[in-house]
Structure 1
Amino acid sequence: MVSAIKMALSVMQTSSIILLFVCILLKGCKSQIQCAQTGRCTCTFNDQQKTEVNFGVIGLRNGKPKFDFDSYGQQGAFVYAFNPCYPFSAGSCKDVVSCQTEASGTTYWDLGNPDPVSWETKSDGTIQVTYTATKEEEERKSVVNYVCDTTAINEPTFAVTSESPLKTYNMEVKTCAACSPAVQGCPTKVPPAPSSGLTGGGIVCIIFTVLVVVYITGGILFQVFAKGATGKEIIPNVNFWSDFPGLVKDGFLFMISPCRRGGYSEM
């Protein structure tokens, strides 16, 4: 009896040690593959190279989706659009990263906003990013798995894999941007955003042009109808503009000629 108890205790002790070892091993394996989120579109792997991931190299910043409306492997009456990181608008989907619509394009559903997002690194190194949209207390999600593909250097691929559970849309992007360590030739820098407005210089030029047009047009109308001028006299301030080229010439010659310094005149 005592021998049996000792054997049982020995088995339990051995099992506990094995279980503890397995737990430590699994925890260690999990900690070996992690990409810590550093921004909306960025994370850093804990590999030796500290590989930085930036999905901004995939998305477009011109208000259009990188992956425009298509079925992307799904059979049915709906098509999808997705743009990593940056918002786009289509139909009733405003400033979203993921959108669903009927094939006819009459009704749209927001499947995910740029913020907030949640990140998770799977055991195989796949980076899973979840985008959430809430409209009228109805929540929809796009769960996007960014999978490392060393061959997808020039163009990533996109697929909608399933809707499971309901209103949760599982998607997959294969790209070299998700690889650890970094793939040679894979883009790492986000291209500059297209200009979306006028610069300060452009605004000044427009104002100046408008003022010149108003000055000439208004001056001519005043000279003709108020003063009854004809010929070149209809030009406003015609004498000044006639002398203007000579004044410019004199000013230019003054600037390039050496300065003359004269003494005091004798009284």
Structure 2
Amino acid sequence: MLLSVRIITPLFVLLAGVQAKRNTDNCKLISSSESEKNALVLLEPLTNQSFTVKGQQQEAYSYIFQVCGDAGGLKNAGLVQKDDKDDKLVPIGIYTKTRAIKGSDWILLIYEGGENYDTHCSKEPRKAMIMISCNENAKNDFSVVLEDNQKPDDCYYLFELDTNVLCQKIPSKLSGGSIFLIVVFSCLAVYLTGGFLYQRLVVGAKGVEQFPNYAFWSQIGNLSADGCDFVCRSRGNREEPPTYRGVATEPLGEEPEERDDHLLPM
């Protein structure tokens, strides 16, 4: 039992590693820097796709491009030139010699090590440069720009690929409370503007009476005070009780005058 566990565990680890492998790992970078590796990872959604474009002007060629894949089915070829007459494939660049330069919203993918030129460019290997740019409205539009081969060395083919894959999705930074406040203030602005125009143009109000529902808002303070008085204060008899019991609260009437004339000696 213990032996079987020791055998099965490495198999699971191996299978997990195979599943985690990306198609862009097929590209072999000439200088394996982290920035170039990160640039290739961003192109993962474009793998397993073939992009084809006709050559410029009267060229009887087509160009086939794949991201870290066999273009036209040709082994290790990332970009090939196809002769439309006899379907001959010429590798312009191979993905086992790749460079990737990343910008803010673009990646320049370079395939080197293509088939050597026959006569010009000092018979050096061909090289393909593909400028992959962000375009929200594009659907992977592939086009050929030029073949710069009128010089002794460092010749190259230049292509463009417009795609929305490289367009960064900026997440909304507004919270639920912020959205609520925006809605409230928007409704308030509509209420004030619409009410003002109605009072001025339809009713013909002037001055502060142009304010919508002016009569109501002018009384809002008194209404609030009445509500607070009703809720927070006692509604019982507020008359102060007398200090001493038994003493009438009504004012005393005038006492009748007592006469003492009968006490005088006659």
Q: Provide the TM-score with structure 1 as the length reference.
A: 0.42
Which structure ranks higher in relative contact order (CA pairs < 8 Å, sequence separation ≥ 6)? Answer: 1
Name which one, 1 or 2, has greater alpha-carbon Rg: 2
Scaled by the length of structure 2, the TM-score of the pair is: 0.42
